[in-house]
Amino acid sequence: MKLLSETIAAIEPASEEHREAARRRIEQLTMPNWALGRLLDLAVDLAGMTRDLTLPVARKEIVLMAADHGIVSEGVCPQPSSVTTQMIHNFVAGGGGIHGLAGVAGAHVTVADFGVASDLSELTATGAVLDYKIAPGTADFARGPAMSREQAVACLEAGISIARDLAPATDVFGSGEMGIGNTSPSSAIVTVLKGASDPRPFVGRGAGLDPARLDHKAAVIRRGIECNRPDPADGVDILAKVGGFEIGGIAGLILGAAMLHRPVVVDGFISSAGALIAATIAPVSRDYMILAHGSAEPGHRAMAELLGKQPLLELGMRLGEGTGAAMAMPLLDAASAIINRMATFESASVTTEGLKE
């Protein structure tokens, strides 16, 4: 608990001084006023996060956290939990969708075991997978808490530790995840934080659930919320009651990155659940979040509203793994390039008459 408390206390708001300096710089660039729209908004955000007008974003790290979920036993997803393990081996072999897209983004991918049900010691022994296993999967939150409060704190602090360990070689973090069944805790988290009695508007097909089973999935999630009664003002309680180990890890990564003034590109539905936990625990951590894309999962719009964020991309994606974060990362490079490479009116001897209207 000490690391979590110290991290929360150390998180500062993004620098308004650097945001304003970025705005002044942009106003001098050779283009009509704010002609690159949200790309320039992103540049201002990055300046405030990094406290550096050069917008350092070249060194990118996507942290893919994996865990299993007891709620799978309730029939809320079509795949068995064993697929989580199979996908971890696929990631280690470089065969995931995230690896192709991370290559395009120039990002490195780190895989971490936060609670996979199987024994991954052969992979963790070689360093192919980081070992932060809290337990071999959460409990079924439809019948009791997903984890203890102590376990919730442990996965948050593990995520913070990853941020601290990787920060010396990282300018920008991206969040990723793998865990069969993890759309259910994510739907539960947004339901709790929206203060809704019915999770159905926030429940989607996940990895391909038959639409006829959606009402069952929603009923199971509702039962879990009613059984556990998580406190919407206490992010640790929400995580413990209805969350997942990888969701807690993502929340911790965001908190750790925020403390270190590092931007975090938040992937889709499950990563946004982690972002909501982080924002509930430390509201100022929102200043360091960049929402990569709008997930096809129906609950993601409500998550974005709760976070006060507009996704950079809208591509109908729902794969997870950090793929949306990888897709969005080149936009950070573009924002940095505009600030660093575009001429000013003065340096280019271009008249401002009529151009800044």
What CATH number should be reported for the domain holding residue 6? Answer: 1.10.1610.10
On whether both 17 and 78 belong to a single domain, the answer is no
What CATH number should be reported for the domain holding residue 328? Answer: 3.40.50.10210
321 noted as active-site residue: yes
Residue 164 is inside which H or E element, if any? helix 149-166
On whether both 111 and 17 belong to a single domain, the answer is no
The domain containing residue 10 runs over which residues? 2-54+339-348
The reply to whether 245 falls in a domain is: yes
Which of 177, 246, 297, 321 is catalytic? The answer is 321
On whether both 98 and 163 belong to a single domain, the answer is yes
Neighbours of 227 (CB within 10 A): 14
pLDDT (0 to 100) of residue 355: 62
On whether both 41 and 74 belong to a single domain, the answer is no
The reply to whether 218 falls in a domain is: yes
Note whether 183 and 191 are within 8 A (CB).
no
On whether both 170 and 123 belong to a single domain, the answer is yes
On whether both 42 and 121 belong to a single domain, the answer is no
The reply to whether 10 falls in a domain is: yes
Neighbours of 104 (CB within 10 A): 11
On whether both 50 and 108 belong to a single domain, the answer is no
The reply to whether 105 falls in a domain is: yes
The reply to whether 12 falls in a domain is: yes
The reply to whether 46 falls in a domain is: yes
On whether both 13 and 96 belong to a single domain, the answer is no
The reply to whether 357 falls in a domain is: no
The reply to whether 85 falls in a domain is: yes
Q: Alpha carbon of 197 to those of 142, 275, 276: distances in Å? A: 15, 22, 18
Q: What is the DSSP letter of 23?
A: H
Q: What are phi and psi of 99, to 5 degrees?
A: -70, -40
123-127 CB contacts, 8 Å cutoff, 24+ apart: 123/88, 123/89, 123/92
Chain position carrying tokens 């500062």 = 12
- Angle value at C-alpha 324, between 161 and 67, nearest 5 degrees: 45
On whether both 256 and 277 belong to a single domain, the answer is yes
Count of the separate structural domains present in the chain: 2
Per-residue pLDDT of the chain (357 residues; tens, 9 = 90+): 899 999 999 999 999 999 999 999 999 999 999 999 999 999 999 999 999 999 999 999 999 999 999 999 999 999 999 999 999 999 999 999 999 999 999 999 999 999 999 999 999 999 999 999 999 999 999 999 999 999 999 999 999 999 999 999 999 999 999 999 999 999 999 999 999 999 999 999 988 888 889 999 999 999 999 999 999 999 999 999 999 999 999 999 999 999 999 999 999 999 999 999 999 999 999 999 999 999 999 999 999 999 999 999 999 999 999 999 999 999 999 999 999 999 999 999 998 876 655
On whether both 64 and 19 belong to a single domain, the answer is no
Q: What are phi and psi of 324, to 5 degrees?
A: -65, -40
Note whether 259 and 10 are within 8 A (CB).
yes
pLDDT (0 to 100) of residue 21: 98
pLDDT (0 to 100) of residue 1: 85
On whether both 40 and 149 belong to a single domain, the answer is no
On whether both 128 and 147 belong to a single domain, the answer is yes
